[in-house]
Structure 1
Amino acid sequence: MTLFAEAWLLLFLLAAGLVAGALAALAMGHLLGDDWLRAVRPGLEAAVRAAPLLLPLSLPVLLLMGRLYPWAVAAPADPVHAVWFAPAFFAARVVGALALWAALGRWLLAGTRDALHPRRAGAVLLLLVPTSGVAAQDLALSRDLSWFGSLQGFALVVGAASAALAGAALAALLRRGQPQPGNLDGLERALLTLGMAVLWLWFIQFVVAWAGNLPEEAAWYGRRGEGVWLWVKFGFALPALLAAVALSLVPQWRAWRLGAVCALLFAHHAAQVAWVVVPDSPALRAAVAA
């Protein structure tokens, strides 16, 4: 059952991240009014319409939280953490965030087909960014409370937005004639911006942790700098992100290069989520300690 819970948590985080990321990318397209939105809009809207499915998909995580989160078995010593991570309050936050995303997506998609809704998009981003950051911190990062409240949750959200936009662009490439050459410049800039943001966010957090030289933060990175996780990060995830950024900087894009960048960004996000989440598995840490 523990193995099932761990696998479900990872898959749920990837699915929820892609839905939230698609909503963020769609809202940014509405807000900016760039031409690139036309090419990727069908894929992003399809992901946003799937948001209500996240509610039933979250049930195994909530029902099995005792196998996934140490604070669900023994309340944290810190009174603030003890209140914040009370199981009932945690479940209410998760369900509330997922319901809010579904409502925001339905609101953004309502109205005239193919029309832009910049005011709605701005309101969506104002509500989506903080709630998705809190949800990422709760679901993906709260298994180790020694580094709570950092930018890691926001970095995961930005990575999910890059993966969602990349996935929608790949879907557009598979449709004959899409995206048109005129859409490539704007789409290229959007993917490059998100890729650079992901790289900067994870790099600056590492620099802050290294400069602070705190034992808890060092231990967090230490668990991810050994064995297979060292190769996941430095042998796959980081090279994929750097290659995507490098290819994005090449002028005079071609469809094959766009496809390569999208595939690399998508692969990076999947590997990064696994690198962040799995090493803090209670069962894995107990096995290592033994």
Structure 2
Amino acid sequence: MSAETETPLGLERLQQRALVVGVVALGACATAGLANPPDFFRAYLIGYLYCLGIALGSLVILMLHYLSGGAWGLVVRRILEAATRTLPLLAVLFLPVWVGVRDVYLWAVPVTPEDDPLRHARAYLNVPFFRVRALIYFGAWLGCAYIFNKWSRERDARPDPNPRRFRLLAGPGLALYGLTVTFAAIDWAMSLEPHWYSTIYPAGFGVGQVLSAFAFGIAAAVGLRRREPFARLVTPANLNDLGNLMLAFVMLWAYMAFSQFLLMWSGNIREEVPWYLAREHGAWAAVAVGLIALHFALPFTLLLSRRVKRDPRLIGAVAVAILLMRLVDLLWLLVPGFHRPGFALRWLDLVAPIGFGGIWLWAFLFELRGRPLVPQNDPAVEEALAHAH
């Protein structure tokens, strides 16, 4: 195997450690869940949505790059492709959410029709239709991921006679993602509090997924940057472009969050205000301030610096920090919707994402090791390598 086609070996130890951490953490959560199944299923949902967000966000960035081009995408393409190939595993790991739906969502608990406060929404909020919609979402996501990865593998084997097909599929693929993730966000996150709704919430949910994927892709690229010939793609200019894109999505996330708050505050509608009241009192208020400072203000300030974006260690640190804050944001969004008194953050809510992250990272590294870090038979890659310095 030549240097140009060498796969990223040497990741076995990290992969094994991720698997051990994942199995031990999720095993501990499952054991605790025997005594309190609702707490287990709710914590599992947090970890699941976090990892699913990275995988789906990776699919979005791939499609954006196929539409727009640019050398920045060559740096993270293999990383993003590997992340999208974890979607079949994530589809299987949705089973606990499928089974535990009545332990997680209030609307799924059977009630008599005359006592049902959600009878006006029962055509949508019912368990059979919830499961049917989940099958549709995964069918769309798996289909897009399969096609793009299949075409990419074919291009590795021989020059692509029809390179425009990536761009032709990317546009409809983005539209399909926007549609499916809107309803998935409503089903799996927003419906935790079924009396509350926001038209901005699903859009913010999707933006958060793309931001997570950018942060993960940058962190992974920085970690792999010493491997040749991949190192010739991880140039200061490409890191600068990736940093600019991550900055754009940090700003877009903040815009979505502030727009939703402003609309709710100005409207002051009885059904909408309690959602924010639950998140702006006690310890959750401190978490909200932390999100403003560490999810927006600090990365925004740092990513304005050209020096930070061009330095692998600095931009890698910012990316890791954003990944951590993405989990904090998910906790802030979901945990108050579990209708526990007070702050009520359980140890399961923290350990389950760690366990799920370990399992997902193991699967990601397995996929990453299966293909060369540098795409083959792509004229853009060959040009970038030729001009790398």
* TM-score tier after normalising by the smaller chain length: over 0.9
CA distance in 1, matches of 2:120, 2:49: 25
| TM-score, with length taken from structure 1 | 0.92
Contact in 2 for aligned 1:233/1:271 (Cα 8 Å): no
- Structure 2: distance between partners of 1:99 and 1:241: 34
| Runs of 5+ unmatched residues, structure 1 | none
1:195 aligns with 2:250: yes
Residues 247/194 of structure 1: CA separation in 2 closer, same or farther (3 Å cut): same
Which residue is equivalent to 1:277? 334
Q: Whose helix proportion is higher, 1 or 2?
A: 1
Shift of 1:154: 1.5
- Where in structure 1 do 4 or more consecutive aligned residues deviate above 4 Å? 285-288
Contact conserved, 1:43 with 1:168, CA < 8 A, in 2? yes
| Shift in Å, 1:92 | 0.9
- 2:216 maps to 167
* 1:264 counterpart residue number: 321
The one-letter amino acid paired with 1:84 is Y
Specify the SS of the correspondent of 1:215.
coil
Matched, 1:77 2:117: yes
**Cα RMSD after superposing both structures:** 2.1
Q: Does 1:155 find its partner at 2:204?
A: yes
> Do structure 1's residue 109 and structure 2's residue 149 form an aligned pair?
yes
Q: Which position in structure 2 is the counterpart of 1:8?
A: 44
1:128 to 177, 200, 206: 177
Higher relative contact order (CA 8 A, sep 6+): 2
Q: Is it true that 1:92 corresponds to 2:136 in the alignment?
A: no
- Contact in 1 for aligned 2:282/2:343 (Cα 8 Å): no
Q: Deviations over 1:44-68 (max 9, x none)?
A: 1111001111221111111111111
Tell me if the contact between 1:237 and 1:272 (Cα under 8 Å) persists in the aligned partners: no
Which of 188, 201, 207 is matched with 2:262 structurally? 207
The code of the aligned residue for 1:106 comes to Y
Shift in Å, 1:249: 1.0
CA distance in 1, matches of 2:190, 2:169: 30
Identical pairs, percent: 28
Amino acid at match of 2:195: S
Corresponding residue to 2:298 among 240, 243, 267: 243
Matches of 1:233 and 1:72, distance apart in 2:
29
Unaligned runs of 5+ in 2: 1-36, 345-389
CA contact (8 A) 1:52 1:99 kept: no
22, 30, 41: which one aligns with 2:77: 41
Deviation of the 1:247 alpha carbon: 1.1
How far is the alpha carbon of 1:79 from its aligned partner?
4.2
Evaluate the alpha carbon distance shift between residue 285 and residue 138 of structure 1 in structure 2; reply closer, same or farther with a 3 A threshold: farther
> After the TM superposition, which of the residue ranges 110-119 and 188-197 deviates more from structure 2?
110-119
